[in-house]
């Protein structure tokens, strides 16, 4: 027969229950979080992506370089000349921007896509805290490539003499291969 203490539970039940929660939490953590968190430098090294050679501000970063879930999203603000050189150094053709919002409505597989559909996935838009004004035009580039053949979509947001740069990896290339 179980004895109840003043909280209504037996000490043995409470101890077993607490122990079960600890064990289940420890076992499920690797499933929820994947591998141990990697530092920004580790992820950038795996992607073989260097930061711009100029001073940047307001850096945000999210990513991992091991499966499952290889990804990289980052943003920063830098002088326009530095940003343009950084993009050129990574094979971006500055003469061929795509604009957001898109002009007109497009379709993918017969399904209409709104011209104001955000340029990045919901998680990245949230991370970037990015709210775009659909009455303005923003330059978007594809083809920003690293030596590991990872490709990024890049959005530029003018901020006076500075430019906000928002990047999201769209093709991981050979990132999972270690040098």
Give residues with Cβ within 8 angstroms of 54, minimum separation 6.
78, 79, 82
Q: Domain residues of the chain, as ranges? A: 1-33, 38-171
The string of pLDDT tens digits covering residues 78-113 is: 999 999 999 999 999 999 999 999 876 666 677 777
Cα–Cα distance between 93 and 87 in angstroms, integer? 8
Q: 117 exposed, middle or buried (CB, 10 Å; 0-12, 13-18, 19+)?
A: exposed
The string of pLDDT tens digits covering residues 119-165 is: 998 889 999 999 999 999 999 999 999 999 999 999 999 998 899 99
Cα–Cα distance between 150 and 168 in angstroms, integer? 10
The first and second tokens of residue 99, run together, are: 């604009």
Cβ atoms within 10 Å, residue 152 = 24
Rounded to the nearest integer, the mean pLDDT of the chain is 81
Q: Check residue 113 and give its pLDDT.
A: 79
């Amino acid at each position: 027969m179980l004895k109840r203490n003043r909280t209504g539970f037996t000490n043995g039940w409470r101890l077993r229950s607490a122990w079960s929660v600890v064990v289940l939490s420890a076992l499920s953590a690797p499933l929820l979080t994947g591998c141990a968190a990697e530092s920004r430098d580790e992820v950038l090294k795996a992607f073989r992506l260097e930061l711009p050679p100029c001073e940047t501000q307001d850096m945000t970063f999210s990513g991992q370089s091991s499966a499952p879930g290889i990804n990289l999203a980052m943003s920063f603000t830098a002088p326009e000349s530095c940003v343009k050189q950084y993009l050129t150094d990574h094979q971006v053709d500055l003469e061929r921007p795509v604009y957001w919002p898109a002009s007109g409505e497009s379709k993918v597989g017969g399904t209409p896509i709104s011209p104001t559909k955000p340029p990045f996935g919901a998680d990245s838009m949230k991370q970037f805290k990015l709210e775009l004004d659909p009455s303005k035009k923003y330059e978007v580039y594809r083809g920003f490539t690293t030596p590991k053949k990872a490709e990024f979509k890049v959005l530029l947001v003018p901020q006076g003499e500075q430019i906000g740069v928002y990047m999201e990896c769209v093709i991981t290339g050979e990132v999972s291969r270690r040098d």
